[in-house]
Structure 1
Amino acid sequence: MGFKFDWFMKGMLGAVLLAFLWPEPGAKGGFLQPELLNKLGVALVFFLNGLALSLASMKDGALRWRVHLLVQCSTFLLFPLLGVALLWGSAGWMAAPLQIGFFYLCALPSTVSSSVALTIAARGNVAAAVFNATLSSLIGVLLTPLWMAWVLHQSGGNFAVGPVIVDLLLWVVLPLVLGQFSRPLLKDWASRHKGLLQKVDRITILLLVYTSFADTVKEGVWSRYNPLLLLQTVAGCALLFLLVLALTQWGARLLGMPRGDRIASVFCGSKKTLASGVPMAHLIFGANPAIGLILLPIMIYHPLQLLAGGMLAQRWSSAEAAPS
């Protein structure tokens, strides 16, 4: 499985470019009404996630406690601790919104689709990957905003947890639960139209990317920073990914995992979700004019993890297939 520059990747670049060329419709007060449109988009994304979430498919991987321990600790402890170290180490030379963006990347849950797909391609334990990637998504609804509240409070920022929790319950948890309860009625229909629903989900995310950057452009945020900011982001994402990749592989060997479990642990424990990260950012940072800059690290990390993960999957699959 290699990296593919698919229509969604092209769409992300297109959404960012459009925001720089024509930000007015997606900025606050624009005719797209982003204040309402963004929340409806978030609700739609998580309703579709709930509709696609098969809890029954998780049961086969539920007993792999060492995989759960490594993946969830990597996602919600190791990553955030590295994020804290990055905040400390970059003080004074990295733009504050980019620092927050890097920590937001570190606080996000794992991604479901690519973690499972890469585990399949590498001939790893698919059941363990499904269980842990899904569990991570559910835990992240609570832990991601709590980590952000703590970091923003430590940095002296004004972060009102109460309204964010209410918004998360209303626009994330409720649609997710409604999607799950709709499965008995809509499961067969959703299965037949899986491709269409995935496109709707991805187009909604692209719309959220556009409104994020449109507001940032209209507020003149990008003109305040050095053009080397993009290079800083790429370097920071690459370093973060390599560190976590090395530490999860070491942890899997330390715990004595068999090959299939190690593969699932590495792929689930090193991934971060763009699909949930963009919608959640609108609820956590919706009023922040630098939201586009905050989202930059996850938008760079996403293709990077797919590129590196695809190469690793090919390597591990070939090693397994090779005659002894």
Structure 2
Amino acid sequence: MARPRFLPDNFTLMLLGTVLLSSFLPVYGEAARVLEYITVGVIFFLFFLHGAKLSRQAIWAGISHWRLHLVVTAITFVIFPVLGWALRPLLAPLLGPDLYLGVLFLCTLPATVQSAVTLTAIARGNMPAAICSASGSTLMGIVITPLLVGLLLSQTATSSDPLQAMGRIAMQLLLPFALGHFLRPWVSPFLTRHAKRLKGLDQSSILLVVYSAFSASVVAGLWSRIPLAALAALVLVCALLLAISMGLSAWLARRFGFSKEDEITIVFCGAQKSLVSGVPMAKVLFAPSVMGGIVLPLMIFHPLQLMVSAWVAGRYAQRPQDAALPAEGAAPAKA
């Protein structure tokens, strides 16, 4: 039986379990330092896999659709951060300083790749453009996110200046991504044969990084600084940000005359935020003592965006088949 669209998936439940585990059984001392080294290696491997999965043909098929990519980039790295900053008079007293910094960090992150592309496929959108746009957003985030964090967040919350952070993020994320993409012709057959196992490894890696991040914050007194009312308010704030971003993405796509297929791509690439990129970036950018509050908004936003987007994708997919005209800039279908 298919899972109802508004119920959380297994990975979301595992994320919740990881937060509970790190809250009751955090790691201390030498074990925490060992876990930190392990997570660095896990992140390297994770982004190596993402680079190896990215097809060069997909890049060239989607890259020509520059108007769509400009709109997605503007939503991801301009509208989202401005929205988070403009709502500060409301959000800062409602959430408290720790969670508000996390909301701002959420607003600076790049788009997710895997779920954005999957949702675009379900909704019969412009797949080549989605692959190119979401992957490009991840790569741009390596440069843009640290700059936005330095601009919007207080220097005391960050563990290094933006330029140093950019270099560290490039070494931990961009280098393995580029290496995986370079080695794609040799490793792709292996990845294809073991796709299901690697998906489980992919998710396990994220869970390990989340456990490490929350453990450090729990030891530093995370839950004593965040009241229950602020957590409830955070769920509503994340839902509001998601509703605004998805609604605005659809409105901009129609305002600029994009096809329905392109609108789908803009909605699912522009309104999504990446947990896979966000948690590793947070570990580089922020001190361990504030990490839990920083990534908590992202961990709430992530399952919300998946559940709501799955429902929206289903609605898009119900449109008549003959309404799906070839998208501007999409690669021609092969026989």
TM over 0.5: yes
* Paired amino acid for 1:307: M
Cross-structure match for 2:17: 14
Does 2:170 match 1:190? no
- What is the CA-CA distance between 1:2 and the residue it aligns to? 3.2
Task: Give the superposed CA RMSD.
Answer: 2.1
Q: Which runs of 5+ in 1 are unaligned?
A: none
Cross-structure match for 2:178: 177
* Paired amino acid for 1:228: A
Question: Which 10-residue stretch deviates more, 275-284 or 155-164?
Answer: 155-164
Question: Which 10-residue stretch deviates more, 29-38 or 72-81?
Answer: 29-38
Cα distance in 1 between the residues matched to 2:154 and 2:23: 31
SS of 2:320's partner is: helix
Do the aligned residues in 2 keep the contact of 1:98 with 1:297 (CA within 8 Å)? yes
Does 2:128 match 1:99? no
* Change in CA separation of 1:44 and 1:158 when aligned onto 2, cut-off 3 Å: closer
Cross-structure match for 2:304: 304
SS of 2:153's partner is: helix
Do the aligned residues in 2 keep the contact of 1:221 with 1:290 (CA within 8 Å)? yes
SS of 1:319's partner is: coil
* Change in CA separation of 1:91 and 1:13 when aligned onto 2, cut-off 3 Å: closer
Cross-structure match for 2:146: 145
Q: What is the TM-score when the length of structure 1 is the normalising length?
A: 0.92
* Change in CA separation of 1:171 and 1:290 when aligned onto 2, cut-off 3 Å: same
- What is the CA-CA distance between 1:219 and the residue it aligns to? 1.4
Runs of 4+ in 1 over 6 A off after TM superposition: 154-158
* Paired amino acid for 1:296: L
**Residues 170-219 of structure 1, C-alpha deviations (whole Å, 9 max, x = no match):** 21121111111211211111111112222111101100111111111111
Cross-structure match for 1:84: 85
* Paired amino acid for 2:288: N
* Paired amino acid for 1:17: L
- What is the CA-CA distance between 1:156 and the residue it aligns to? 8.4
Cross-structure match for 2:292: 292
* Change in CA separation of 1:19 and 1:155 when aligned onto 2, cut-off 3 Å: closer
Does 2:229 match 1:228? yes
SS of 2:202's partner is: helix
SS of 2:124's partner is: coil
SS of 2:221's partner is: coil
Do the aligned residues in 2 keep the contact of 1:42 with 1:280 (CA within 8 Å)? no
* Change in CA separation of 1:73 and 1:117 when aligned onto 2, cut-off 3 Å: same
Question: Which 10-residue stretch deviates more, 40-49 or 69-78?
Answer: 40-49
Cα distance in 1 between the residues matched to 2:317 and 2:126: 12
Q: Any residues of structure 2 matched to 1:113-132 within 5 Å, and which?
A: 113-132=114-133
**Residues 249-271 of structure 1, C-alpha deviations (whole Å, 9 max, x = no match):** 11111111111111111111111
Cα distance in 2 between the residues matched to 1:156 and 1:115: 30
- What is the CA-CA distance between 1:295 and the residue it aligns to? 0.5
SS of 2:111's partner is: coil
Cα distance in 1 between the residues matched to 2:322 and 2:8: 29
SS of 2:210's partner is: helix
* Paired amino acid for 1:282: K
Do the aligned residues in 1 keep the contact of 2:108 with 2:149 (CA within 8 Å)? yes
* Change in CA separation of 1:32 and 1:4 when aligned onto 2, cut-off 3 Å: farther
SS of 1:289's partner is: helix
Do the aligned residues in 2 keep the contact of 1:233 with 1:296 (CA within 8 Å)? no
Cross-structure match for 2:39: 38
**Residues 141-178 of structure 1, C-alpha deviations (whole Å, 9 max, x = no match):** 11111111111247886742343223212211211111
Cα distance in 2 between the residues matched to 1:9 and 1:79: 23
Question: Which 10-residue stretch deviates more, 102-111 or 54-63?
Answer: 54-63
- What is the CA-CA distance between 1:4 and the residue it aligns to? 5.9
* Change in CA separation of 1:298 and 1:51 when aligned onto 2, cut-off 3 Å: same
Q: What is the TM-score when the length of structure 2 is the normalising length?
A: 0.89
SS of 1:14's partner is: helix
